[in-house]
A and B are shown apart, each in its own frame.
Chain A
Amino acid sequence: MTGAALQLRLLWQRNAGLYGLYLLLIALLAVYAWLHPGLLSVAGVARFTQNWFPIAVVALAQTLIMLMGGIDLAIGATVSLGCVLAASWIGDSYGGAALGIALAVGVGAVIGGTVGAIVALLRIPAIVVTLAASFIIGGIALLVMPRPGGHVPAWLSDGLAGETPTALVLLLCLLVAWRILQATPLGQDINAAGNNPHGAFRSGVNVARARIVAYAISGALSAFAGVYVAAQTGSGDPIIGGPFILDSITAAVLGGVGFLGGIGAFRGAIAGSLLLAVMINVMFFLGFPPVAQYIAKGLIIVVAMGLRLLRER
């Protein structure tokens, strides 16, 4: 067997569980484009991806934690905090905006790293630590901004969430950055610590450090999703992140990320989040009444999971 063929086979096997989801996505996107031809334009893609983008980013944030065998219930609060910090800190100038975004994302990284340190060093289950953290972070978000308000300059809103598909480019950048990180020793440590923490530890990997870094990246991603929501909406809202907790977990699980750690990949989570995003639009254009939407959403999730499990047998 040639190297290329082997490479192809490897690729096929690595994505094996996801083909059902990919097919479902292609079908739904085709239906969406058929019902709403405006999707097939630069502005159409831009509008769609900007609604999908925050879900995709929190799905990545959740995947990182789930790969570590944990689960992050603080994602929603971190999104809210990132959102209100962005709406408070982002200045009108280019430099002020960059600084504000960097600070908000930095706060997310510090919070994530702190949560990670508690999980990794004190050995308290992630679900407990992140639940507690969600109340603290959510409280801080309400302190920063007791009720919705703040301001994001219009040029930034239009640049990140306007007629140009900036969100799609950002998403691709995030995936490339993740690929690059995985090629570094630190990235390999993160993979190893998630896959087989005991084996990694015996092989000399600093598992605690790898975990803390993974949590810090996850926190930064969540805060960045919040920054994006602030730009998308032009303002801050201290409770807007709440629904992202469930969405992030659903997207990750749909994308084949396991609850026990080490199983799954970013591309799966991205596909899972895309399913959640496209579903809302397809059901709208099919004219489903709200009650039918609840049922259809449940059925689509069951089908997506079923296809994956059948394929894995």
Chain B
Amino acid sequence: MSSSLKLALSCAACAIALTAMSTATSTPALALAKCMTGEREAPYTIGWANIYSIPTWMKQTQGTIEDVFSQLQEQGLTDELVVTDAEGNANTQITQIQSMIDADVDGIVVIAGSSTALDRVIAQACEKGIAVINVDSLVETDEITAKINTDSNMWGQLAAEWMVEQLGGKGKIIIMNGPAGVSVSEDRRAGATPVLEANPGIEVLTETNTPYNAAPAQEAMTSLLFQYPEIDGILSFGGALTAGAILAMDRQGRDVPPSTGENYRQFLELWSEKGFPGWATMQPNWLGGLGVYAAVKALEGEDIAAFVEVPLPIITDENLPEYLARAEDFPADGYIYSPYDLALFDEILGLK
């Protein structure tokens, strides 16, 4: 597990170094990030083009954006944060990004409502010298300053590897997925496939597909428990999914087997309370804050790589108490993300 994480980290570092080198060779005098002209000056106006502001995960993400924004404001680097909510409508998001261009914001952070629909409007922003940083849900176009995300395939691979190790390569498991057809869900599952194929001793009893909420996952698991008297592990690709599964098992008085999950607060609390072997990773909410920071750094003339892979923070029995110690600071249905600061962002972006 840790070796593959290191591999991922070094890969990301290589990619950053390579990009930096290639940019350096093509424009030796001035290595500006993509879309940057060097004409814009601090303090900067930053636009946050959100696709949907209602879910708790999004509210927490916005929290990190506001936090990083105000830290940069204290340094005199930013002065206004413009926030839009497309209410889940990619067409509205296009209109809102268009308005941000019209209002001549300096940087735009975007979580995309469609991987292709925003391409033209983002390219247009890039042409105007606006630093466009895309986080979490990514777009296709390369006419953008940078894309920042974790690796969903790695998420699934690391979870599956931990499960194989826990079961000693032999056992019956249930796989819990997010909704079918959603790229995050498909990618996490795909990452687990090679690991499971390499370990034929692991028998997959069945798989579930539910929204990333505890209630539907609990319902799905409840009916499966009657069907399968012996379950050795729950390979879940979502924190709320595992929480639902544990609640279902608890209600029937079943012991919880080794389970994977995410930094969803309820799951972490159940993990600690029931004491089963557990493992979790996360899509850190501070990707949003990192997006603001990357935009400002690009505007300040730093070279930002076209793609920045954020290493997945891992939660194990060892550091679980550290996460739960901070639980009170997070909403009950929220995600306890790993701590962040601007120094961590510098490290991830390969600056300094």
Contact B116 A47 (CB under 8 A): no
Pick from B53, B100, B116: contact of A236, CB below 8 A.
Answer: B116
Chain B residues near A236 (CB, 8 Å)? 116
B292 contacts the other chain (CB 8 A): no
Chain B residues near A235 (CB, 8 Å)? 116-117, 119, 140
Given A47-B102, A148-B114, decide whether A293 and B85 contact each other with a Cβ distance below 8 A: yes
Given A51-B98, A148-B115, A293-B85, decide whether A234 and B120 contact each other with a Cβ distance below 8 A: yes
Chain B residues near A55 (CB, 8 Å)? 91
B82 contacts the other chain (CB 8 A): yes
Chain B residues near A269 (CB, 8 Å)? none
Pick from B85, B99, B119: contact of A281, CB below 8 A.
Answer: B99
The segment from A16-24, A114-122, A282-290 found at the interface with B is A282-290
Contact A243 B91 (CB under 8 A): yes
Contact A284 B99 (CB under 8 A): yes
A38 to B, closest residue via Cβ: B102
Given A290-B50, A290-B83, A290-B85, decide whether A149 and B96 contact each other with a Cβ distance below 8 A: no
Contact B95 A237 (CB under 8 A): no
Contact A240 B117 (CB under 8 A): yes
B84 contacts the other chain (CB 8 A): yes
Chain B residues near A164 (CB, 8 Å)? none
B101 to A, closest residue via Cβ: A47
> Chain A binding site: helix, strand, loop or mixed by DSSP?
helix
Contact A54 B91 (CB under 8 A): yes
Complex Cα distance A236/B117, Å? 7
Chain B 262-294, CB within 8 Å of chain A: the 1/0 string? 000000000000000000000000000000000
Contact B95 A148 (CB under 8 A): no
Q: Which of B95-117 contact A (CB under 8 A)?
A: 95-96, 98-100, 102-103, 114-117
Chain A residues near B120 (CB, 8 Å)? 157, 161, 232-234
Chain A residues near B82 (CB, 8 Å)? 284, 287
Contact A285 B83 (CB under 8 A): no
Given A234-B120, A235-B116, decide whether A240 and B91 contact each other with a Cβ distance below 8 A: yes
Chain B residues near A161 (CB, 8 Å)? 120
Chain B residues near A232 (CB, 8 Å)? 94, 120
Complex Cα distance A234/B181, Å? 22
Chain A residues near B89 (CB, 8 Å)? 242-243
Complex Cα distance A46/B40, Å? 26
Contact B94 A147 (CB under 8 A): no
B90 contacts the other chain (CB 8 A): yes
B313 contacts the other chain (CB 8 A): no
Given A233-B94, A290-B84, decide whether A148 and B116 contact each other with a Cβ distance below 8 A: yes
Contact A290 B53 (CB under 8 A): yes
Q: How far is the CB of A50 from chain B (nearest CB, A)?
A: 9
Contact A280 B103 (CB under 8 A): no
Given A289-B83, A293-B85, decide whether A36 and B103 contact each other with a Cβ distance below 8 A: yes
Number of A residues near B (Cβ < 8 Å) is 38
Chain A residues near B119 (CB, 8 Å)? 233-235
B183 contacts the other chain (CB 8 A): yes
B243 contacts the other chain (CB 8 A): no
Chain A 150-177, CB within 8 Å of chain B: the 1/0 string? 1000000100010000000000000000
Complex Cα distance A262/B330, Å? 54
B63 contacts the other chain (CB 8 A): no
Contact B50 A280 (CB under 8 A): no
B88 contacts the other chain (CB 8 A): yes
A137 contacts the other chain (CB 8 A): no
Q: Which of B115, B116, B140 has the most CB of A within 10 A?
A: B116
Q: Which of B130-182 contact A (CB under 8 A)?
A: 140, 181
Complex Cα distance A244/B89, Å? 9
Q: How far is the CB of A23 from chain B (nearest CB, A)?
A: 23
Q: How far is the CB of B348 from chain A (nearest CB, A)?
A: 28
Q: Which of A11-58 contact B (CB under 8 A)?
A: 36, 38-39, 44, 47, 51, 54-55
Chain A residues near B245 (CB, 8 Å)? none
Chain B residues near A233 (CB, 8 Å)? 94, 114, 116-120
B120 to A, closest residue via Cβ: A234
Given A229-B91, A233-B94, decide whether A284 and B84 contact each other with a Cβ distance below 8 A: yes
A161 to B, closest residue via Cβ: B120
Q: Which of A211-239 contact B (CB under 8 A)?
A: 229, 232-237
Chain A residues near B117 (CB, 8 Å)? 148, 229, 233, 235, 237, 240
B92 contacts the other chain (CB 8 A): yes
Chain A residues near B91 (CB, 8 Å)? 51, 54-55, 229, 240, 243-244
Contact B183 A147 (CB under 8 A): yes
Given A243-B88, A243-B89, A289-B83, decide whether A237 and B96 contact each other with a Cβ distance below 8 A: no
Given A147-B115, A148-B114, A148-B115, decide whether A237 and B99 contact each other with a Cβ distance below 8 A: no
- Complex A-B: 5 CB contacts under 8 Å: A54-B91, A148-B140, A150-B116, A236-B116, A237-B117
The 10 closest A-B pairs by CB, nearest first: A290-B85, A235-B116, A148-B116, A243-B89, A233-B117, A284-B99, A51-B95, A290-B53, A148-B115, A237-B114
Known: A38-B102, A51-B98, A233-B114. 8 other contacts (CB 8 A): A51-B95, A148-B115, A157-B120, A229-B117, A235-B116, A235-B117, A240-B114, A284-B100
